[in-house]
Structure 1
Amino acid sequence: MSAVSQQACSRFSAEVRQAAAAVASRSSPLPVNLSEVKQVCPFVARTKGMPEKSAVETFASFCPVMSVVEKPVLIHNDLDDGAVKKSLVTRVADKMYEAKFEYNIEKLKQEGRYRYFANLQRHVGTFPKATFRGQNDEAGIPREVMVFCSNDYLGMGQNPVVLQACHEAIDTSGTGAGGTRNISGTTKYHVELEHELALNHEKESALVFSSGYVANEAALSAVGKIMPDCIMISDSGNHSSMIEGIRHSGCEKTIFKNNNLEQLEAILKSYPLERPKMIIFESVYSMAGSIAPLEKICDLAEKYNALTFCDEVHAVGMYGEHGAGVAERDGVADRIDVISGTLGKAYGVFGGYVAASKNFIDCVRSYAAGFIFTTAIPPVVAAGALASVRYLRQSGAEREMQQLRAKQLKAKLRSKGLPVMNSTSHIVPVLVRDPVKVKQVTDKLLDEYNIYLQPINYPTVPRGTERVRITPLPLHSEEDLDMLTSALDNIWDDLELPRNVPVDDVTE
């Protein structure tokens, strides 16, 4: 400790100075009751809710007695001096907040739930291969990896037709939209895109948002302003954007178990027919790969006079003759009142939307803060999305190949006894059931096999259902699938993970 930190403090006993020495030497546990220190120290008193050692370490550098830094803060011994105390308390408070942030991040890391961002660069013509440059802020040596978790399900992000439309739009209209949709931000690309989306979903109108998340949140929250007495009946597997939209609507809500029609009907039956109701659900649940029984949900909605709001984010572009989603495939698009989708997954671009009746869309356009108070998506993005939607309305080859690759991969993984969930969609989830081990699985894939998968943890999925979520693309070859299967097979042995275990208990 420095000379300054050896000076006496009228507020501190010898025991407290002993605690300071422990902090300086990083010994543990602390040889003093921190609660006693808090009663007399204006610094440590601000460490409420923090672990003792972290608390003292955080504030030690601000106290001339407990300082453990090379150049401690020089202050007067008289801590009652108003100006000195105010200055120090302010600086201590700043440190306190940073310590709280650091503590909570460290907690996530210890639980195995900290999220690492892979620095990937896709290259036109070679995707799903990409250049990997490390995770988060680390500067790794660039190397080629195979991506197996992209939501660009059909590779439309590098489709020549889409790229050409983007080039033409940016050369014609520049980059940004220049304003909100209401103030100079609406272009012919936005108008044509919304018309195409409405046509695709057999609806009168559509509205484009900056993302699928915003589309769901804004549209559902607007319902509360239009019908504040509406009952929101939500599937338990719904995405966070829908949950937040329901919460922001201020409407009464009730939840039914994922795809449980008996429970849904019981809820509907408990309300008068004349009471406004909206059933809110997804067509494809992205973390389990399950598909909702849309026709039966529509039957219940019509029987009990309820509106339907279906999120087709993981289905648009992927299902149906024109790529309009599961509702088109199942022949019920005209029976669903509101369909939401994204332009950033199968369509390979960016943005989100809702399609519905003209009056509903006009209400959302007029009441949804998430639409009104934000800049419109750039014309170049709208142009690329428009080209992608039109392309996939005509071409089914990409969808067919993707479905084949998903079927092949499920069979290959199951042949090795790996716990593939009962997905009926293009998504291939493999259960690990442990947050630390699922990270070990993906780390080994990346480090030893140059395969990139992202671990899926709580809160994205319930605790105890951690998994890897694989999305085979039409651009993957069967040899790529064999490479992934062999790698996972080896890693299951290395980590002694269970095989041939039940998976029926996990549905979300």
Structure 2
Amino acid sequence: MAKLDWITEELNELKEKGLYVKIRVLQSAQGPWVVVDGKKVLNMCSNNYLGLAAHPKIKEAAIRAILDYGVGAGAVRTIAGTMELHVELEEKLAKFKKREAAILFQSGYNANLGAISTLIKKGEDGVFVSEELNHASIIDGMRLSGAPKVIYKHLDMEDLKKKLEEVKDKKKKLIVTDGVFSMDGDLAPLPEIAELAEQYDAMVYVDDAHGEGVLGEHGRGIVDHFKLHNRVDFEMGTLSKAFGVIGGYVAGPEEAIDYLRQRGRPFLFSSALNPPDVAAAIASVEILQKSDELVKKLWDNTHFLQKGLRDLGYDLGNTKHPITPVMLYDEKLAQEFSRRLYDEYNIFAQAIVYPTVPLGTARIRLEPSAAHTKEDLQYVIDAFEDLGKKTGFLK
């Protein structure tokens, strides 16, 4: 047996179980309609919530930054990589989020790795109190830290209280949760979390990757949605979803953010975000500061799509967000739905299967955007009705 034969065996097993993911290749800009593998399709699985990824003002800002600052940052932030653009974006993000300060990272994933592993470290008298369905980047941040963790059940505040009681004598306690859970579209009960955190003298860290540009006034996120600005310590946001660019950041108290600048490993050991990306992100923040028109259009489209699918009899779970999980439960059926939507209806909508979600909870995750038209979304509803009947899923 050759030393890498096990890889072939693993891949074959994934294919047999319906768990192998076919990676589609886009040949156009992100938008409501895209070219994938030479075929024009309706894009229903992008995180480009506000349609900003190809917005003219965003593109112009990136081009202008290349002319003024070049393509690359050239160094890590602490040596020679901090440009005035980085400082400007951090200041604009802090103001947008109504926080004292913000620190940029190369991605939302890196932001979680850098911040979480820094706030509590191995050997300290500290513990993470982590939501059961937290994103992989949160889990990896805790692993990198090496500090102990306890897990509380999804959205279960009684269990959170129980876990906090168990670790109440720890000097440092950090409650970590997604704000919006990306596979289901349900929201963390932040008011109750904040109340328990105050009761047990714990810090609160929220990953708001899917709340940015979607929830709150002008898309300021879940903390703004619940009006908890002074009761949540740290907000992680990503610039790669609603903002349409790349990068991540953490916003919070000035001293805490300064501490992350001194100790956050991705900030210290990986090159800074490139100038065109930073300038594009600045333009995105400015668009949202100026107007909430795109946020309102996103929600209008969301309500239209979700009502249409529910009226057909589809289970969309507990979503309170544009994330629209169309529950099909069976892994092979979900893969068939995705393939046939693409082949027969020119709809690009990927199946979400184990291990991304638990076995038996396979789904098609649809994500409407502000750039979709009502005609686009009605076409999706009609396709799900037709295919649901063809497969026997809808009676």
TM-score range, shorter chain: over 0.9
Give 1:390 shift. 1.7
Please give the alpha-carbon distance, in whole angstroms, between the structure 2 residues aligned to 1:393 and 1:299: 29
Choose from 253, 257, 260 the match for 2:149: 253
Equivalent residue of 1:333, what SS? coil
Taking CA–CA contacts closer than 8 Å with sequence separation of 6 or more, which of the two structures ends up with the larger relative contact order?
Answer: 2
Please give the alpha-carbon distance, in whole angstroms, between the structure 1 residues aligned to 2:27 and 2:289: 29
Please give the alpha-carbon distance, in whole angstroms, between the structure 2 residues aligned to 1:254 and 1:421: 26
Please give the alpha-carbon distance, in whole angstroms, between the structure 2 residues aligned to 1:393 and 1:221: 31
Structure 1 regions of 5+ residues with no counterpart? 1-54, 56-94, 134-141, 500-508
Please give the alpha-carbon distance, in whole angstroms, between the structure 2 residues aligned to 1:217 and 1:160: 32
Matches within 5 A, 1:280-429: 280-429=176-325
**Correspondence for 2:36:** 132
Whether the 8 Å CA contact 2:131–2:177 is kept in 1: the answer is: yes
Give the aligned residue type for 1:156: L
Equivalent residue of 1:278, what SS? strand
- Structure-2-length-normalised TM-score: 0.96
Residues 150-180 of structure 1, C-alpha deviation per residue, up to 9 Å, x if partnerless?
1010001122221111111011111111111
Overall identity of the aligned pairs, in %: 36
Is 1:449 the equivalent of 2:345? yes
Matches within 5 A, 1:237-252: 237-252=133-148
Whether the 8 Å CA contact 2:385–2:394 is kept in 1: the answer is: no
Please give the alpha-carbon distance, in whole angstroms, between the structure 2 residues aligned to 1:227 and 1:452: 47
Whether the 8 Å CA contact 1:145–1:452 is kept in 2: the answer is: yes
Equivalent residue of 2:81, what SS? coil
Is 1:119 the equivalent of 2:15? no
Whether the 8 Å CA contact 1:122–1:128 is kept in 2: the answer is: no
Give 1:291 shift. 0.9
Give 1:273 shift. 5.2
Equivalent residue of 1:281, what SS? strand
Residues 127-167 of structure 1, C-alpha deviation per residue, up to 9 Å, x if partnerless?
2111111xxxxxxxx22111011101000112222111111
Give the aligned residue type for 1:117: I
Please give the alpha-carbon distance, in whole angstroms, between the structure 2 residues aligned to 1:113 and 1:455: 9
**Correspondence for 1:215:** 111
Choose from 306, 327, 335 the match for 1:431: 327
Give 1:411 shift. 0.8
Equivalent residue of 1:402, what SS? helix
Matches within 5 A, 1:169-180: 169-180=65-76
Whether the 8 Å CA contact 2:185–2:322 is kept in 1: the answer is: yes
**Correspondence for 2:125:** 229
Choose from 265, 272, 275 the match for 2:171: 275
Whether the 8 Å CA contact 1:273–1:304 is kept in 2: the answer is: no
**Correspondence for 1:100:** 6
The number of equivalent residue pairs is 395
Whether the 8 Å CA contact 1:200–1:322 is kept in 2: the answer is: no
Give 1:123 shift. 3.9
**Correspondence for 1:467:** 363
Give 1:258 shift. 1.0
Which structure is larger by alpha-carbon Rg, 1 or 2? 1
- Structure-1-length-normalised TM-score: 0.75
Give 1:108 shift. 1.3
Give the aligned residue type for 1:132: V
Whether the 8 Å CA contact 1:229–1:252 is kept in 2: the answer is: no
Please give the alpha-carbon distance, in whole angstroms, between the structure 1 residues aligned to 2:227 and 2:123: 29
Please give the alpha-carbon distance, in whole angstroms, between the structure 1 residues aligned to 2:305 and 2:211: 19
Residues 334-355 of structure 1, C-alpha deviation per residue, up to 9 Å, x if partnerless?
2110100100000000011111
Equivalent residue of 1:308, what SS? strand
**Correspondence for 1:189:** 85
* Structure 1 moving runs of 4+ over 6 Å: none
Whether the 8 Å CA contact 1:178–1:375 is kept in 2: the answer is: yes
> CA, structure 1 residues 338+278, in 2 after alignment: closer, same or farther (shift >3 Å)?
same
Residues 225-281 of structure 1, C-alpha deviation per residue, up to 9 Å, x if partnerless?
388221100001100000111121111110111111111011112233563111101
Equivalent residue of 2:315, what SS? coil
Give the aligned residue type for 2:94: A
Whether the 8 Å CA contact 1:122–1:129 is kept in 2: the answer is: no
> CA, structure 1 residues 481+223, in 2 after alignment: closer, same or farther (shift >3 Å)?
same
Whether the 8 Å CA contact 1:429–1:468 is kept in 2: the answer is: yes
Equivalent residue of 2:144, what SS? helix
Whether the 8 Å CA contact 2:92–2:282 is kept in 1: the answer is: yes
Please give the alpha-carbon distance, in whole angstroms, between the structure 2 residues aligned to 1:155 and 1:455: 22
Whether the 8 Å CA contact 1:233–1:254 is kept in 2: the answer is: yes
Whether the 8 Å CA contact 2:324–2:365 is kept in 1: the answer is: yes
Give the aligned residue type for 2:331: P
Give 1:498 shift. 5.3
Give the aligned residue type for 2:77: R
Residues 364-423 of structure 1, C-alpha deviation per residue, up to 9 Å, x if partnerless?
222222221111110110010011012112211111111111111111011111222221
Measured on the aligned residues, the alpha-carbon RMSD in Å equals: 1.5
Whether the 8 Å CA contact 1:317–1:389 is kept in 2: the answer is: no
Please give the alpha-carbon distance, in whole angstroms, between the structure 2 residues aligned to 1:211 and 1:106: 32
Please give the alpha-carbon distance, in whole angstroms, between the structure 1 residues aligned to 2:380 and 2:168: 53
